Structure 1
Amino acid sequence: MSKRTLIINTELEDHYIEKIKEVIPEWNILIGNDPRVWQDQLTEAEIIVIRKNEIMDSILSNQSKLKWLQSWSAGVNTFPLKQLEEKEVIVTSANGVHAYPISETIFSLMLGLTRKLHTYVKQQQSKKWDEANVSLEIHNKTIGIIGVGAIGLETAKIAKAFGMKVLGVRHSGKTKEFVDTMYTIEQLNEVLPQCDYVVVTLPLTDETKHLFGTEQFQLMKKSAFFINIARGQIVKEKEMISALKLKEIAGAGLDVFAVEPLPENSPLWEFENVIITPHSSGLTEYYGQRVIEDIFIPNLKSYLENKTPAINIVDYRNGY
């Protein structure tokens, strides 16, 4: 009988590899960025931990023996979910890996805009001493968290340390700790006029694509800040740019964009009230540890017991 095969198409530190080998010592385990390591075994792989999507054609071929696909990222919006569902492949995501670094980035952006730290950094380059009319505080304001998953919940928890009122939006509308009032996504427009900060942490799905446009920005307070660390396609970018030009909102902290890298001719580079980060909010020194030790290995142990992996299984109906 041929060996069962696991492919991980990214580099891993040796101690993570050893932990995996302890669980499946008899398996053929192929790991690395170089396709030459695993290319000719793709259709033989029963499990793949996928970081680079260019192998999808092989995964979807009729010859593929794939049963379980573990995503290296939290989002699976780039996956051919319909075809994977048809092939009855289990898909699990890395949801939760980013809760700490992204929530930290969210508050970095919120505090930076509130206390004009980005303005002071620019002034530092020219040795300019100017208070820049800073006056706003974050304490006791209202934050709307649009998408209360792991990231949104951690953000809500931190918001409470600032004495903030927390409004949440999630698909189910079910209440969560640290959220004062929860709404469904259909009630989004009721939430926006109440918020001093609107933070988008939603997955990109058919339902959330272009969720934010002119109508939503006009419903927001003129003094409100918009933070997007989710996916650029959730926002109609031209309409957001218009809202910033017309001062319909006070500013924005943006980690994601419709086109990435953000083109050099984008007007967003020029706004004084916008902070741009290069889709880096999820980067962390603990990424590999959380994917392998907290998600993949526990799921692998369940899988070997003929159980469905329980952590972060993707619901094909919802798209995440």
Structure 2
Amino acid sequence: MKIAFIHQKDQFSEKLLEGLRAKFSDREVLSWIEGEEPPTRDLEILVAMGPVTREDLNSQPKLGFIQTATAGYENVDLEAAGELGIWVSSAPSGMTGNAESVAEFAILLLLAASRRLGTFLKSEEDRALHPTQIHPALSGKTVCIVGLGAIGERIVERLRAFGVKIVATDEHPENAPHGVTAYSPNQLKKAIADADYVVLGIPASKANEDLINSDMLHAMKRGAILVNIARGALVDEQALIEAVKEGQIAAAGLDVVKNEPLALSNPLLQFPQLVVTPHIAGFTDIMLHGTIDYVGQVIEDVTANKRPNSVVNLPKAPRRPLQE
């Protein structure tokens, strides 16, 4: 069975590839650099850490299964995969250590944005800057978490120690953790109205693109702080910039942007009150090892013609039949 890992040239991907090769030492795991020609034309399983296009899929007539190395799968052309009979599976955050890793990073961004860490770091380089020295503490404030999935729930767990009031939106608000006031997604404006901090933790889709637009930003309390550890597509970046200029949004912590990898020319980087990181929230030791183990188990299941619980599509005519 021929397996390949499509990825960018970065340290985490290289370590993941190394781990997959160790996991499947009896099989060849090929490296496929994103944007380059495939290493072979007869792959059967593809592990993906990045975009998988229709063109990529058309180059692989034997490909029957794609496993993402992340919880998100929006970069895989699901329509093309379904048409070609290819299963697609994600790596749920709660199963890989990703949820714990991203939740920790969300707290880091909350604190960094709240205490204007970016502004202070810049003032160390430019002594002409004199940043305000009094900033809000988390204690006693209200945090709205948009999405109570695996990551959202772990953010709740970690926030409790800071003495904050937690509100949230979720598809199933009735299942919210104890002490969390939850609303349905269509009540987002109500949920964020009194929040000092808003944390985005939902998957991206065509339906929620630019969810946080100018209207939504102005529905927040003036001086609110936004944190996005989900997907860049959720935020209208130009609207965010304008809201920051106006003082409507005091600061933000963004681990994701619309166009990744993050370019140095991105206008978001011009504002020291915006703490912007290059989509690294999940990159920890536990996520690395957890992903290797999870992907490894999925590949073993597929090899045995078993359908993993994490499949996200149902191709009408699968190239590789899998039993539930």
Q: Name the TM-score class by shorter chain.
A: 0.7 to 0.9
Shift of residue 187 of structure 1?
1.6
Aligned mates of 2:57, 2:193 — CA distance in 1: 46
Contact preservation (8 Å) 2:20, 2:296? no
Shift of residue 217 of structure 1?
0.8
Query: Equivalent of 1:49, from 40, 43, 47?
Result: 47
Tell me the equivalent position of 1:220.
220
Tell me the equivalent position of 1:79.
76
Q: Which amino acid aligns with 1:216?
A: M
Name the CA shift for 1:266/1:297 in 2 (closer, same or farther; >3 Å): closer
Residue identity over aligned pairs, in percent, reads: 28
Shift of residue 226 of structure 1?
0.7
Q: Counterpart of 2:44 in 1: which secondary structure?
A: strand
1:308 paired with 2:307, answer yes
Q: Counterpart of 2:202 in 1: which secondary structure?
A: coil
Aligned mates of 2:165, 2:104 — CA distance in 1: 18
Name the CA shift for 1:122/1:52 in 2 (closer, same or farther; >3 Å): closer
Q: Which amino acid aligns with 1:241?
A: I
Q: Counterpart of 1:85 in 2: which secondary structure?
A: helix
Q: Which amino acid aligns with 1:59?
A: L
Contact preservation (8 Å) 1:202, 1:208? no
Tell me the equivalent position of 1:111.
111
Aligned mates of 1:119, 1:71 — CA distance in 2: 36
1:17 paired with 2:24, answer no
Aligned mates of 1:20, 1:266 — CA distance in 2: 40
Q: Which amino acid aligns with 1:76?
A: Y
Q: Which amino acid aligns with 1:69?
A: I
Q: Count how many residue pairs are aligned between Structure 1 and Structure 2.
A: 303
Contact preservation (8 Å) 2:195, 2:220? yes
Shift of residue 197 of structure 1?
0.7
Aligned mates of 2:167, 2:102 — CA distance in 1: 18
Q: Which amino acid aligns with 1:20?
A: F
Aligned mates of 1:100, 1:75 — CA distance in 2: 16
Tell me the equivalent position of 1:285.
285
Aligned mates of 2:122, 2:56 — CA distance in 1: 48
Aligned mates of 2:33, 2:221 — CA distance in 1: 50
Q: Counterpart of 1:8 in 2: which secondary structure?
A: strand
Q: Deviations over 1:248-303 (max 9, x none)?
A: 1222112222334555555433334222222222322344312111x212223333
Q: Counterpart of 1:194 in 2: which secondary structure?
A: coil
Tell me the equivalent position of 2:271.
271
Name the CA shift for 1:133/1:169 in 2 (closer, same or farther; >3 Å): same
Aligned mates of 2:4, 2:289 — CA distance in 1: 18
Aligned mates of 2:112, 2:215 — CA distance in 1: 26
Aligned mates of 2:167, 2:214 — CA distance in 1: 21
Q: Counterpart of 2:252 in 1: which secondary structure?
A: strand
Aligned mates of 2:312, 2:6 — CA distance in 1: 20
Tell me the equivalent position of 1:211.
211
Name the CA shift for 1:29/1:194 in 2 (closer, same or farther; >3 Å): same
Contact preservation (8 Å) 1:70, 1:93? yes
Q: Which amino acid aligns with 1:291?
A: T
Shift of residue 200 of structure 1?
0.9
TM-score w.r.t. the length of structure 2 is: 0.81
Aligned mates of 1:18, 1:272 — CA distance in 2: 42
Contact preservation (8 Å) 2:5, 2:17? no
Tell me the equivalent position of 2:67.
70
Q: Which amino acid aligns with 2:298?
A: N
Q: Deviations over 1:60-83 (max 9, x none)?
A: 35x622222111233211211112
| Mapping for residues 75-224 of structure 1, pairs under 5 Å | 75-96=72-93, 97=96, 98-126=98-126, 132-177=132-177, 180-224=180-224
Name the CA shift for 1:13/1:143 in 2 (closer, same or farther; >3 Å): same
Report the aligned-residue RMSD.
Answer: 3.0
Q: Which runs of 5+ in 2 are unaligned?
A: 8-13, 315-324
Aligned mates of 1:153, 1:217 — CA distance in 2: 24
Name the CA shift for 1:130/1:157 in 2 (closer, same or farther; >3 Å): same
Q: Which runs of 5+ in 1 are unaligned?
A: none
Aligned mates of 1:110, 1:59 — CA distance in 2: 39
Aligned mates of 2:178, 2:301 — CA distance in 1: 31
Aligned mates of 1:232, 1:52 — CA distance in 2: 14
Contact preservation (8 Å) 1:160, 1:178? no
Contact preservation (8 Å) 1:58, 1:64? no
Aligned mates of 1:40, 1:124 — CA distance in 2: 47
Name the CA shift for 1:241/1:116 in 2 (closer, same or farther; >3 Å): closer
Q: Which amino acid aligns with 2:21?
A: I
Q: Deviations over 1:32-78 (max 9, x none)?
A: 2569xx94633x322211235467524235x6222221112332112
